[in-house]
Structure 1
Amino acid sequence: MSDETVWWRRGVVYQVYPRSFQDTNGDGIGDLEGVRRRLDHLVSLGVDALWLSPVFPSPMADFGYDVSDYCGIDPIFGTIEDFDRLLGEAHARRLKVILDFVPNHSSDAHPWFGESRRGRDDPKRDWYIWRDPAPDGGPPNNWISNFGGSAWEYDETSGQYYHHAFLKEQPDLNWRNPELRAAMADALRFWLSKGVDGFRVDVIWHLIKDASFRDNPANPDYVEGEPDISRLLQLHSADQDEVLDVIRELRAVVDAYDERVLIGEIYLPVERLVAYYGPDLSGVHLPFNFQLILTPWDARRVSQLIASYEAALPAGGWPNWVLGNHDQKRVATRIGAAQARVAAMLLLTLRGTPTLYYGDELGLADVAVPPELAQDPWEKNEPGHGRDGARTPMPWDSSPNGGFTTGRPWLPLNDVATLNVADEARDPRSTLSLHRALLALRRSTPALEIGDYEGLEAAGDVLAFRRRLGGEEIVIALNLGPKPAEIDLGEATVLLSTHMDRTGPEPAGPVKLRADEGLALKVSQ
């Protein structure tokens, strides 16, 4: 299969947070059967792949990102038979299925860790990261957990500390150990043999730590009130050059199966992010690019970001873009409902593979979760930094609990009378209708799927670029501001407006953009 036609280049990925998608047994928590029953929503939306946040057995200290068995399904979500049924029905609808693989750490309830902590001489001791105390008896170094506090936990039995980049219930695995690597490769093969189409690999840049466990330096730009982890630069606890050797091995496992994809979660600047494509593209197919989330919503800043990213890509490296996920505030919260529609057009027309977060197609914003209902362990450790607001249940209709559950939802919903799938599906100008139209335009326009990208000159709040393939040329013009603007494009025909009320040839002269409006246009060459 040629690079141009491989599914993960042309397709759009849709992330489902299973706890919040659809509950079918009344316990208030979404499940795999619920995802199966809602597959037609993904089909009607027009996406190509379903990415499931973790569904493996877990004590749920971090809601599935603490895995106790890499080859099973947690009873909260159903059974392995439920998964097989979901996978089969997704494939029958021509939807790919991507699993969330969490290899940096396991749960402390994983049998491997139970063996490892039995004593210093246990065969699996080196499957995790154990270190002697510092001379004063304290932690081996100054590394900080991503959830606040020391990244080391003392074990009374053995007199050593184990490392945990996140919760103490999530001990880090030692990827310098070849037996551990082999066991994790076998876990990947278990799911690949079932027909899973790929993996999103959690915190992949964390897998290898500094061999000497040196202290991290202070962050000179730290601002009081930021998360504890921001106090230090993660120079030695993550993003080590040797991680590319590990990723090359994971990629080889995936490449042994036809048309599978490896995606890496990587929160790094562009210049480091692109290193994860690996020498000769031997790394992950798609190192997740979160820069649209992290960059201020300003036309000139975003334009420069796109240009810098495109310039930094290695030869043959395929770009990708993300506007939201389970760890970030929703796009409608960050930039407002009106600009979230403009952002949707940007996401779905840029060169590269887009990932769409569940509920963003409705224009959902973060829900204000009262402290007494907080679930996120980060929120409990460092109040004000939690992620619950972006993980709330999907509103399917305007009935109580939005059609998500017949029980008590694990997190509160948005105002379901205002935003829900059923009502938005009937409204031709809704955010859902806009996403469907954008995805249909993308699918029917090869220049938007795989065409070249060229930034265009624009002034003020306007961001513009050209997508071209062969004789087909599409221009995207986006007004990132609250006032009308214009751009001179020559003879142009509007294919789609984010306001959903405008198509056809434009009058002679500059193309006029209303406040908070994005346009997809066909222009004469």
Structure 2
Amino acid sequence: MTSVIDRREDSAVAVPVSWWRDAVIYQIYPRSFADSNGDGMGDLPGIRSRLPYLRDLGVDAVWLSPFYASPQADAGYDVADYRTVDPVFGTLADAQGLITDAHDLGLRVIVDLVPNHSSDRHEWFRRAVAEGPGSPFRDRYHFRPGRGAGGELPPNDWPSIFGGPAWTRTTNPDGTPGEWYLHLFAPEQPDFNWDHPAVADEFRTILRFWLDLGVDGFRIDVAHGLVKAQGLPDLGVETQWHLLDVGVSPCFDRDGVHDIYRSWRRILDEYPGERIAVAEAWAPTLERVAAYVRPDELHQAFNFSYLGTGWNVADQRRMIDASLAAMRAVGAPATWTLSNHDVVRHTNRLLQADDGDVAGRRPTAVDPVAGLRRARAASLLLLALPGSAYLYQGEELGLPEVVDLPPEVRQDPAFHRAAGQDGYRDGCRVPIPWHGDQAPYGFGPDGGPSWLPQPEAWAELSVAAQENVPGSTLSLYRAALAIRRSHPGLGAPDNLRWVDGPAGVLQFDRDGFRCTVNLGAGAVRVDRVGEVLLASGPIDADPDAVTLPADTAVWWSR
């Protein structure tokens, strides 16, 4: 794509127009998307077979959660070999074929990269433990002697995000108690020591390996966590971090991470086709997040502040303004998302927000009709905003959070640990339904059970049940993405202008386009401003005005 410079007076930085600045990127959770061999687990050949569906949906790129060799202690986010596909997902040839097919269909491919920690089965860590104190491989992680007379206490007071202490004690080769190692997540996920040059060298080669294979970019897992404060100082207070709000700490969002990403950006820029990197960066402020996407660093950062915004005009408008301003200051696009593999699906979460649980950390059952109505309106709002949008698999079907999974099937490593990340992430990871009237709804070829059980009600939400059905959520998403791609006012420029409306109504213009959303409790009447392009639900219209029910959005062409 030709680079165009935006020279508006209010632009703090000259902004090139590139594919990723307004892309719609669809997250695939590989184990839950499509199963090609009937073992109950999704895989790369299954994804490959469904790529035409994603092309027809209208997305620009797919992001694949990890499929590398892994013991699966944390669903693949514990990587044992970054250059090998885990056999449960297929082979390296399957990955190459998926990338080739996606490109043939006009889809780009972004893969997850996990640089904060490895698996405890990684060759480096296995040697570090087996060789004992003094092993040079221990310097590539954070090994420390314990405190107390016999070293029986952890080296500092840091907690794990998954619950319990962030330290586990090793056993020496002679059987005696040994040193401790740091893991900000599960004990099976030891943190790398990014002060060691071998770690930086290794990840530069990993980047090149996948770029040479043809991937279009990387989503950087825990991008804010690689660098820890010198000396690993105590927090000094009893606390429990949560993935959604770690705040200011000695092991997250340290300034040293930016040198790492500058070196990665130089590698990405060597390759043709605008290869990108996206930061999963949880930081205390939007301005701190924006630092990850300065012109010589990464390209995008997830906007988790928006994900947790309340469903009301004041909060939405404030967060949208703040997000656009923070990214505008560094010349980066804003990003928007409502769901992903770590949070409660927004069909549930947005209603839970009415009870003060904006983050939806402990999912509860909600009225499915009301939840879907609000979710559809929120999706049209999100897709109308300037910048790049991220969709999570199944949201285009209106899938709700599964809140009643029995304990024995849950695999979130935090579920059985004390406190910490609440352990309820399995509810958004249930395999999606494709067709049929009983589980697994076409997820696999032989009708066997999927790795997580699917609800009976999902027969009505399958792709086949919604295909070409006017008013279905799948039809709504396809229509919205087609309009977003074709309407001249919905491209990359940051061109949002607020428009006053009745109480409870949020509305804004972009060039030749208006989005109006009723976030209030009752129906409202708004003046007709042009042709209605799309509505998230039924509306009453006459020549002069349109009546919007509560939790309904409409797009207009002006």
TM-score normalised over the length of structure 1: 0.92
Partner of 1:205: 224
**Counterpart mapping for 1:171-186 below 5 A:** 171-186=190-205
**Counterpart mapping for 1:66-465 below 5 A:** 66-117=78-129, 118-136=131-149, 137=151, 138-157=153-172, 159-218=178-237, 234-258=248-272, 259-268=274-283, 269-278=285-294, 281-313=295-327, 314-335=329-350, 336-367=371-402, 368-382=404-418, 385-400=423-438, 401-405=440-444, 406=446, 407-414=448-455, 415-451=457-493, 452-465=495-508
1:479 corresponds, among 475, 496, 518, to 518
> Partner amino acid for 1:464?
Q
Please give the alpha-carbon distance, in whole angstroms, between the structure 1 residues aligned to 2:35 and 2:18: 33
Q: Give the SS at the match of 1:518.
A: strand
> Partner amino acid for 2:132?
G
Partner of 1:18: 30
Larger deviation, residues 173-182 vs 310-319: 310-319
Q: Give the SS at the match of 2:110.
A: strand
Whether contact under 8 Å (2:30, 2:64) holds in the other structure is yes
Whether contact under 8 Å (2:160, 2:241) holds in the other structure is no
Deviations 1:228-286 (A, max 9, x none): 789985511211111111111122222211210100101223132112113xx222100
Where does the alignment leave 5 or more consecutive residues of structure 1 unmatched? Answer: none
Whether contact under 8 Å (1:227, 1:382) holds in the other structure is no
Larger deviation, residues 326-335 vs 444-453: 444-453
Q: Give the SS at the match of 2:475.
A: helix
Whether contact under 8 Å (1:475, 1:522) holds in the other structure is yes
Quick one: percent identity of the two aligned structures? Answer: 42
Larger deviation, residues 13-22 vs 120-129: 120-129
1:32 has 2:32 as partner: no
Q: Give the SS at the match of 2:373.
A: helix
Larger deviation, residues 128-137 vs 250-259: 128-137
> Partner amino acid for 2:413?
P
Please give the alpha-carbon distance, in whole angstroms, between the structure 2 residues aligned to 1:2 and 1:444: 19
Please give the alpha-carbon distance, in whole angstroms, between the structure 2 residues aligned to 1:215 and 1:296: 34
State the 1:502 CA deviation: 7.6
Where does the alignment leave 5 or more consecutive residues of structure 2 unmatched? Answer: 5-15, 351-370
State the 1:418 CA deviation: 2.1
Partner of 1:2: 3
Please give the alpha-carbon distance, in whole angstroms, between the structure 1 residues aligned to 2:556 and 2:28: 31
State the 1:459 CA deviation: 4.1
Partner of 2:71: 59
> Partner amino acid for 2:408?
E
Partner of 2:365: none
Please give the alpha-carbon distance, in whole angstroms, between the structure 1 residues aligned to 2:543 and 2:50: 43
State the 1:48 CA deviation: 0.8
Larger deviation, residues 424-433 vs 126-135: 126-135
Larger deviation, residues 39-48 vs 415-424: 415-424
State the 1:126 CA deviation: 1.2
Please give the alpha-carbon distance, in whole angstroms, between the structure 2 residues aligned to 1:512 and 1:229: 40
Larger deviation, residues 250-259 vs 420-429: 250-259
Please give the alpha-carbon distance, in whole angstroms, between the structure 2 residues aligned to 1:109 and 1:234: 31
Q: Give the SS at the match of 1:356.
A: strand
After the TM superposition, which segments of 4 or more aligned residues of structure 1 sit over 4 Å from their partners? 226-234, 500-503
TM-score normalised over the length of structure 2: 0.87
Please give the alpha-carbon distance, in whole angstroms, between the structure 1 residues aligned to 2:180 and 2:543: 70
Q: Give the SS at the match of 1:72.
A: strand
Partner of 2:531: 493
Distance 1:413 1:380, change over 3 A: same
Please give the alpha-carbon distance, in whole angstroms, between the structure 1 residues aligned to 2:393 and 2:529: 37
Please give the alpha-carbon distance, in whole angstroms, between the structure 1 residues aligned to 2:245 and 2:49: 45
What's the C-alpha RMSD, in Å, of the aligned pairs?
2.1
Whether contact under 8 Å (1:295, 1:302) holds in the other structure is yes
Deviations 1:92-146 (A, max 9, x none): 0010000000010000000011122323332322111112212453111111101
> Partner amino acid for 2:506?
L
